[in-house]
Amino acid sequence: MESFLILGAGRFGSLAVQRILARKKVPRLVVVDRDGHVLEKRRENSVKTVVQDAIDFLVHYPGLGSEWIVPAIPVHVAFAWLCRQLAREGAVTQLAVPSLLDQQVPNSLRAKTGALYASFATFRCPDDCDEPDESCTVTGEVREADLFDVVRNIEVEGYVTLVVRSHQLAPGVGGYQLSVLWRLLEEARSTEKDVLVATACRCHGVFNALRFNRKAHSA
C-alpha cells in the first residue's frame, strides 16, 4: 500500500487528500498540521491526522523511504528539512541565492527570505493541472525543457546544485519520496562547497542556499 504524508491541511492540503483518495487504490494517508482545528475538518476514515509542526514531524519521522511527501505549506520543505538535519552535525548558515541565477531561470522572482522562485508560466496555473509531458495545459505551447533538468545543468562557482524533483501524484498534486531527502542529506554532507537546493517539477521551482560547517571532532 502506498503511503502519503500530506504536510499542511489548508486549501492545497485538502485538495491533495481529495485527489489522492480519488485514485483507484486507497492509500495510507497521513495529514500533518499544527492547527488541530483545521485538521478536524479533514478527518476521514482512511486518513490519519497529526497535530504537529510539519517540519518537526518530518525531521523525526523514521519511515521506510518509500513514503510520498506532499508539501502543502508555504515553506521550501526539502530545504527546511535539510537545514534541520545538518544542524545536528554542525553549523548551518542560510544564504541568499546567488544573483547569477536570476538570469538563468525563467521568470525569476525573489522572496524577502533570500529564496528564488522560477516558473515557465507567466500566469496563475489551474490547481488541477496534470502536468503534461510536452506542452502547457493552458496555452498548449510545447515545453522545450523540463525545469528540473534546466536547474540540474546550472553551474555556479563555489556551489553544488542539488535538485529534488517533484513528481505528479494526482492532478495539481506534486511530491517526492522520503528516500530522496535522505539522498539529499548525504550529498550535502559530502561536499565542501556551499549548497544550492532546488525543488522543481516540469514548470515551477524554488531555490535556497546554505553553507555547512561540520563540527570538528575532539581528539
pLDDT digits (tens, 9 = 90+) for 113-125: 889 999 998 888 8
pLDDT digits (tens, 9 = 90+) for 159-186: 999 999 999 999 999 999 999 999 999 9
pTM of the complete model beyond 0.85: yes
**Domain extent for 139:** 76-219
pLDDT band at 219 (very low <50, low <70, confident <90, very high): very low
Domain total of the chain: 2
CATH of the domain at 3: 3.40.50.720
The three cell numbers locating residue 64? 521506510
68 with 144, same domain: the answer is no
44 with 135, same domain: the answer is no
175 with 113, same domain: the answer is yes
Domain finish residue from 27, 42, 75: 75
168 with 201, same domain: the answer is yes
Domain finish residue from 44, 75, 106: 75
111 with 92, same domain: the answer is yes
